[in-house]
Structures are given as structure tokens and as C-alpha cells.
Chains A and B, each alone.
Chain A
Amino acid sequence: MLHRRNFFRTLGTAALALPALSGLPRSLSAQPMTAPKRLVIWFTPNGVPFDRWFPTAGATERDFTLSEMLSPLERHRERLLVLGAREWDPRYVRNERGISIKCVPDTPSGGHQLGMLLTGAPMATYDGVELGSAPSIDQLVARAIGDQTRFPSLELGARVGGNEGQGKRLVYRDAGQWIPAVDRPEQVWDRVFASLVGSPDERERDLARRRGVVDFLHGRYASLRTRLDVGDRATLDAHVTALREVEGRLTAPLNACEVPGRPDIAPRRWDDYTDLPDLIEAQCDLLALAFACDQTRVATVQITEAASNARYPFLTGTEEWHHALSHDNSPESVDKLAQIGAWHAERLSGFLDRLAAIPDVDGRTVLDNTIVFWANEMADGVYHTHQNMPFVLAGGGGLRTGRYLQLEDASHNDLLLALVNLMGVDVDYVGAPEYCTGPLGGLT
């Protein structure tokens, strides 16, 4: 197994002493002392056992004790804003407490539809395929600030699921337009760093070839467009938009920065999840470096998928499936769920370590200028509830951290709106307007 400390060595870059951001992005060159804001959405699935997750509240918001599942985040305590309910009674799992996702249909439903989590909108069917019906918040932000970096956003993942299904579809460019997560680190490297390596000659030749092909394709798309029926042109146009995005990357300035080695993690059989630790480590390293090189400012990290049946034998010593465990409230299963949750909290903590180690242009750290939102598609896994969602915010970017914020019946859409507003996107609602009353207060 590859551990974090030697992974940076494997990547061939200077361990955690990452270079200060160099090669200022275009938009910032006029005001070099202002650092850009960044947004990271971190996803893990299947809900949580409440009594092992939520902190114990103290006399004030700052005076709280992290639960066993969140304890690995203790070292970032001053950078956390944990969201929860003022009070809750486990006998009434559907009481509107804390933050509730309100666009979930009562029935019929599997409850694991991932397309609601970041869109705040109900699922809808597009030509027979069920998808999110609004842009996800990361994409709203990417629309606003994405043109300032080579990648408007990066969608990363680890074992996001190979089967067709709504369970893995987290990110939406727009209604019905799903963006897949890239869950192989070497593919992330190929996208972000490959064009930074090689001799200038080789790079020039490669670029000429790619440009030649893209130019050719623009001609073919334009020609096909005139032949298609008017009603089919929107579909083709979406492809042309995607082609332009790819093309833009060929010519975008590549900020000088350290290029890591290409990760090399052998793919496993579909039911063998022992590569999950290495995959998450590698993706965190690549994302931290992508931030350090200012290749993007918006990212999602999707760990497995909604209703994930990942197995964690390296933790729990058993081959039980995560989703199966989440439907069982026996003490043994809850113990294993708590172990899995704490392990995920440690992965996030490690990612926050990396961001905290990168100096930003304003003399602070990248973590200080990043909003991290740890999200889950579900609250209670046994009963498939969406009340008192187990959400954690971390980082900076305007958040007032070091607190446990207890809420009464807050709408999830209001939280999404508040995050988008904090990222400087000036909109009045997110997703389904009927669930939006205004940006959630108390975050700043």
C-alpha cells in the first residue's frame, strides 16, 4: 500500500513543501495580493448512524466535542463548521431537524438519487434516463469563474461505480447534462499534467497534431449541423461546446509548476476495494497540485457512489458491503459503519493537510481560501431519510469556522444558495425555487 508521505516522493515532486503559486492567472495579474476562492465538494455515501456522527454540543457554538466518526478531523477543528440539529429524537427520524433535503419525492423512491444533492432539484427523466434537473452548485460556480483557469472544474472520484445508474451521477452542467467523475488517477494526470511534460519539440508536435484534429472536427460538426433536423441540433451543439472546452485547454497558458509523476495503481476486480486508500491518496495529491498550479478552482471528489456497495476488509475485517451495513442497525453493523465513517473523515483530514501546506498568493494558505463541503446523499441509511443531513463544511473562503452550528428545519437549498453566494455567484435561488427561502444564515 502506498502511504501519503512516500506518495509525494513517488510523484517525484518536493514533498509537502509545495511551491508558492507561480504563473499568476490572467485575471489576477492586476491585483496580485488577492487570492482566488476555491470550492471543493467531497462526497461519501449511504448516510450515517446519527449517534455516532454528530458532535456533542457545549455551552457555545465553539464549545463542542467531535464524535468518534468525526474525531480524525480534530486537528482541523478551527477550520470546521459542522452542521446539525439543535435537538433530535432518534425515534422520529423523519422530523424536520437540522438541514433537510426537501425535493426528495415521498414515493416511489429509492432515496439514493444522487442528482438532487448538489442541484436542490428533483430528478427528472430525459429520454428515458433519470437525471438531475438543474445545474449542480459546483457548475454554477464554474460558470462564473471557470474561464479564469485551464479547467473550469475538475470532477475526481475513487471507485465511482461502473454500472449504469443514477447512484453515481453527482455533477450536472445543466438540467439533464451529467458530467462523469474521472476515477482513475492516471487519467486525471493525463488531463491535467500530460501536456506539461516532454521536450519543447515533442510538445509542439503533439499540440500541432491535436489542433489539426480539433480543427478538422469543427468543420465536420458544422457540416453535420446543417444536415441534421432542427430538433436534433441542440444535442450536437452540446458536443461542440464540449469540443470547445477541450480545445481551450490546448491553448490555455500552462502555469509553470512542478509536474508530478504519472500515478500507477493497478485496476482491481469490481468487488475488490483494497485499492480505495491508494486511489483517494493519489486523487488528493493530484487535486492539491492542480490547485497549486492554479489549473482549476472548482472540484468535486466523489468517493464511491450513492448506495455504494464498497467493502472495507482492510478496516472492518469483513467482506460486508457498505450499503448492506447501512441498512442494519444492529450494534455490530453500526460499529463497522462508524469505523468506515471515521476512515473517510481521516481521508478528508489528509486532504485538508495538503491544502494547508500550500502557500497562497496572499500569504495565507490555499485552505484559507477554499470552501470544502462534505456531503452525503442521505441522512439515516436504515430508513432512507433526508432530515438532519450529515453535512460538514471546512476551510475558509469566508466561512466562520471552529463551530458546531445547530439548526432547526433548514432547507438544503438555502445551504446550497449560501455556498454559491459565498463563492461570489449572485443568484437568488438554487434548484427548485419553492424550497429556497434565502441563503442559509449563520455560516459567516
Chain B
Amino acid sequence: MRAPLLLFLVACSASIDDPTGTPSPEPTPRELACDEGPTTASTPLTRLNRTQWSEAVAALLDLDANEVAATLVDDARAGGFDVGRGVSAVHLERYLDAAASIAALADVARLVGDDTPIDFARRLARRAWRRTPTPEELDALATLHALGDTPDASARLVIEAVVASPDFLFHVEASADAAPGDVARLDDHALASRLAFFLWRSLPDDTLLADAEAGVLHDTLESHAHRLVADPRFERAVRDFHRQWLGLEAIENLVKGETYADFDASVARDLRASLEAFVAHVYANDATLDALLTDDTVFVNARLGALYGLPTESATLVATRDPNRRGLLGQPGLLARLGKPDQSDPIHRGLFVRERLLCQTLPMPPNDVDLTIRPPEPGASTRDRFAEHTASEACAVCHRLIDPIGFGFESFDGIGRFRTTDEGVAVDTTGEVLGAEDASGTFDGQPELAEQLARSETVRRCVATQWMRFALGREESAADACSIDDVDARFAAAGGDLRELVIAIATSDAFRHRRVPTP
């Protein structure tokens, strides 16, 4: 038995009766022994998500597939990350049309080279389906090839069919020798795919497939994980993880009101790029959780520099340092995203910390409350106006888990600019994290909050859990707790090294096993 797993939905209402007035997430007792063989939950059968589809097609045919991928029905979201789930005739039509469009774009002469049609079909299918095609499948491809009027048309038909095939579309995982409910080791081909789609968002390469075909991948998994993380393609996983974890598209799409007249679409675009540059900078240097949360680097170009008081002449983004900001939570892009069109937004800033860094989900506000907040006016600070809004006990039970964190960010306005006054009143940046185990405590200002979170085991475990969701394409369950414990322990032992974290996930029981689904 190990430490209890946090219950992810914080029961705000349970805290009403708490005489100390300190709400806390209720631990769920866990009756899971971790020394009785691997445990994990079922992962439902899913398709490649759109990012994976696009990267896989690009790798297969050496072309840019983003535009075609955008025509696919958008992914579902489980555990905060994109998964290819749900089906209708519309979904199917989009996959068929996308396969035809991709086939039309392919440079067939270069792809086929000197291969005979059947060799080309075999090579393409093996790469796309992550396994050797059967003779029957090659016959079917040959039949299709014969339908083409010209060699070029025939090759395009083969490409279309291979890309439209379920063996390309699905994350095919099966356990022929295990019974429903059993925990079984992934077969080598499924493991090769899991690994490549996790760390590269794309198809396994020949080196991985060779070990899968030789049946030795479970033994060489760790070295492959190191290899994939050292490869430039790992940047895709870093970018894709942070895009979803931090909500980067929302930054690029930000629109602000007249209060922030200088904030336009170019600034929004730059802010996303700036945040991506910060993440890349962390991974290029320390690559630790501590650096991600406390590094005071900010990337600015001349436009951002002028707006955010960090002057530079550079047309491109350059690193600068700002003592008022620390890490992710101090990045102008994230603070602008967590800002209202005309003012800061303590509620969403607090919620972001609660959900994304502490892995706690709060319920939505009840139906019949007025959610309107008094507009900004001179003499009334944001803190005062928001405090009015949540004064009632019914609101306060949850909001005291949210707002006191968000108030700590008050030195940043609605677009994430540093400030010392708010509507003529000196900003008060004192705050408190409640009910978050070792992340709890009072602080004054974003830099102190960043340090407090960076020291916390709760935050470390949450970041490990977020990456786990991203890796498995599903939310974790109690049956994954032993794997999360192991991953977290290795992450901690490596001093919060973020590359070590993904390698620990890739070699964890939950990653290399599956629970056979029950009908």
C-alpha cells in the first residue's frame, strides 16, 4: 500500500461543515497492491487523432498534410487531450475524402521510384499499417491497382486505399491470448506504435519496426525511448502536449476590448510564439519542472517588447529576463489568455492552477446564479469587485479554492502586462493556496507562487499525470495508480527532469500493458 491517490473532483460542498473553514480535497483510500503484477485500466479502441493522422501521412508520403487533416471531423477530448473517437457517416466520408485528396497531392513518381507496383504497395502498407501486410492484403491492393487507367492513377489508388484503411486509422491493439478483463502485455507492434505516436506523434520508424518484428521490443524499449526523445521529432510531442495543456490556440485567437487598444491579432500571434519559445528554451536547457515553473526568461520581439515594457530592436523573438515573472505562469501569453477583454481574471487564473497544475476539477457554478461582474471603474480594484461577486456562502465554498490563488496574479492586467496599480489603487498580490496538500500556503505575488508550486510534490505528480493522459489518450483511473507512483518516483529521483519523465512513462506498466476490454 502506498500514499492515497487524490480524488480529482474536489467536493466543495463538503467543506461547508468543516469547522476549520479549510476545504480540502478528500483523499480516496486506495486498496491497490502494487507488488502483485502490473495493473492498468482499459484504453478504448481509438483512431489516430488529427495531429497524429497529419504527422503519419506526412511521414508516409513526405508532404505537408496539415491542410487536409483540418478537413477531418475534430477530435473528442478525454482527460484534456485530443483523442480520435466517435463515428458517423460524416466522419467516414471525411476520412475517405482526405485519403483521396492526399493521394492526389502525392509525388507518385518519387514515391514509387524503381519499385514494381507490388513492391511499392508492400512497402507503403508496411509503413502505414506498422506491420507486414499479408498476401491476401497485397492481392486486394493489386486488384485495386488494376482499376487505374495509368500507372500514375494506379499508384494513387493504392495510396488512397492504404491511407483510408482501418489499419492506418486505428491504434490497433489486441490480445489474442488473454481474456476480457485481464491485464496483458502489449504485443510488440502495438508497443512500437504507442511509443512512436507518443513521442513523435507519428509512425514508428524502421528501427522500431525491426525490433517489433524480432519480438524484442519489450527488452529494448528503454533504449528506444531514449533514442526517440533525443531525436528532433520529439519536439512535436513537446509542442503538442503544451498546446493542449496550456490552451495555446486560445492565445492565438485572443481578442481584447478598447481597454487594450494596442492588442491586435499580430500581438496574439506573437504571444503564442513567445510561449512556445519559452517551452522550447526550457527543454533546450535544464529541461526540468523547476525551470518550467520558475525560469524568468521571456521571449519578445520589438512589438511585444514595446507593449510589455521589455524593449528590444529585434524583429524576431529574443530571450530577455523579467524579475517580475517566473516560469509558465508568468508568461504574458498565458496571462493574456487568462484575462478578460477589459480587465484581469482572477477566477480563471486560479482555476487554471487548480485544474492544470494541481489536477483538481471543480464543479460548474449552479444554474440560477447571476454571473455578471461589475465593470471596472476608478477606485474599485479587481479584487474588491470580484470579492463582492462571490460573497455569498454558496459561491464562497468553491471560490475560496479559486480566487485567493487568482488574486496573487493581480500585478498583471488583462493582457498580462506588469502593473503596480489597478484603477488607481495599489495592487495587493497576496494570495493563498488552500486544500492542495504540500502546495498549500500563503504567498505574495506570482514569483512566490511559482516557487511554492515548484517545490510541491502534488504539482510534480500532477504534471506527471498530465503527461500520462497525453501518452495514453485517456484519463487515468485507480488501476493506473501504481504506474503513476513509479513514474512520479523516477521523475522525482531525476530531479524533475522532463525528458526522464516521458521515458519513465514510456517504460511504465500502464504504457506497456493493456487491460483487455470487456464487451
Interchain CB contact (< 8 A) of A212 among B89, B92, B147, B363: B147
| B372–A327 touching, CB < 8 Å | yes
How far in angstroms is the closest Cβ of chain B from A193? 14
How far in angstroms is the closest Cβ of chain B from A50? 15
Tell me the bound Cα distance from A109 to B170 in angstroms.
33
| B517–A177 touching, CB < 8 Å | no
Chain A CB within 8 A of B379 CB: no
| B90–A180 touching, CB < 8 Å | yes
Residues from chain A with Cβ under 8 Å of B5 in the complex: none
Main secondary structure of the interface of B (DSSP, over half): loop
Chain A CB within 8 A of B45 CB: yes
| B253–A108 touching, CB < 8 Å | no
Q: A242-B88, A271-B253 are in contact. Are A385 and B367 (CB under 8 A)?
A: yes
The segment from B55-63, B68-76, B409-417 that touches chain A is B68-76
Residues from chain B with Cβ under 8 Å of A212 in the complex: 143-144, 147, 157, 161
Tell me the bound Cα distance from A33 to B224 in angstroms.
71
Chain B CB within 8 A of A243 CB: yes
Interchain CB contact (< 8 A) of B144 among A93, A216, A271: A216
Chain B CB within 8 A of A232 CB: yes
| B166–A232 touching, CB < 8 Å | no
Chain A CB within 8 A of B118 CB: no
The segment from B78-86, B309-317, B485-493 that touches chain A is B78-86
Chain B CB within 8 A of A219 CB: yes
| A182–B90 touching, CB < 8 Å | yes
Tell me the bound Cα distance from A172 to B99 in angstroms.
26
How far in angstroms is the closest Cβ of chain A from B84? 11
The segment from B109-117, B172-180, B444-452, B494-502 that touches chain A is B172-180
Residues from chain A with Cβ under 8 Å of B3 in the complex: none
| A220–B88 touching, CB < 8 Å | no
Chain A CB within 8 A of B370 CB: yes
Chain B CB within 8 A of A442 CB: no
Which bucket holds chain B's interface residue count?
35 or more
Chain A CB within 8 A of B519 CB: yes
| A106–B366 touching, CB < 8 Å | yes
Chain B CB within 8 A of A364 CB: no
Tell me the bound Cα distance from A246 to B174 in angstroms.
27
Residues from chain B with Cβ under 8 Å of A243 in the complex: 92
Tell me the bound Cα distance from A155 to B73 in angstroms.
13
| A384–B367 touching, CB < 8 Å | yes
| A128–B474 touching, CB < 8 Å | yes
How far in angstroms is the closest Cβ of chain B from A319? 8
What 0/1 readout, one digit per residue, does chain A (23-35) give for beta carbons within 8 Å of chain B?
0000000000000
| B157–A209 touching, CB < 8 Å | yes
| B167–A94 touching, CB < 8 Å | no
Interchain CB contact (< 8 A) of B174 among A94, A182, A228, A269: A228
Interchain CB contact (< 8 A) of B45 among A128, A129, A232, A270: A232
Residues from chain A with Cβ under 8 Å of B93 in the complex: 191, 246
| A231–B144 touching, CB < 8 Å | no
Residues from chain A with Cβ under 8 Å of B161 in the complex: 212-213, 216-217
| B372–A239 touching, CB < 8 Å | no
Q: A213-B160, A217-B161, A271-B253 are in contact. Are A242 and B87 (CB under 8 A)?
A: yes
Closest CB pairs A-B (n = 9)? A231-B517, A108-B363, A128-B78, A232-B45, A242-B92, A179-B88, A164-B77, A245-B89, A107-B366
A-B contact pairs, 13 of them (CB 8 A): A179-B89, A179-B90, A180-B73, A209-B147, A210-B96, A216-B161, A217-B161, A219-B140, A231-B42, A232-B517, A246-B93, A319-B255, A327-B371
Which residues of B does A touch, CB under 8 Å? 42, 44-45, 73-79, 82, 85-93, 96-97, 99, 134, 136-137, 140-141, 143-144, 147, 149, 157, 160-161, 164-167, 170, 172, 174-176, 180, 253, 255, 265, 363-368, 370-372, 474-475, 516-519
Supplied contacts A164-B74, A234-B519, A242-B91, 14 more A-B pairs, CB within 8 Å: A94-B368, A107-B366, A129-B78, A164-B77, A208-B147, A209-B157, A213-B144, A216-B141, A223-B136, A224-B170, A227-B172, A231-B519, A232-B174, A385-B368
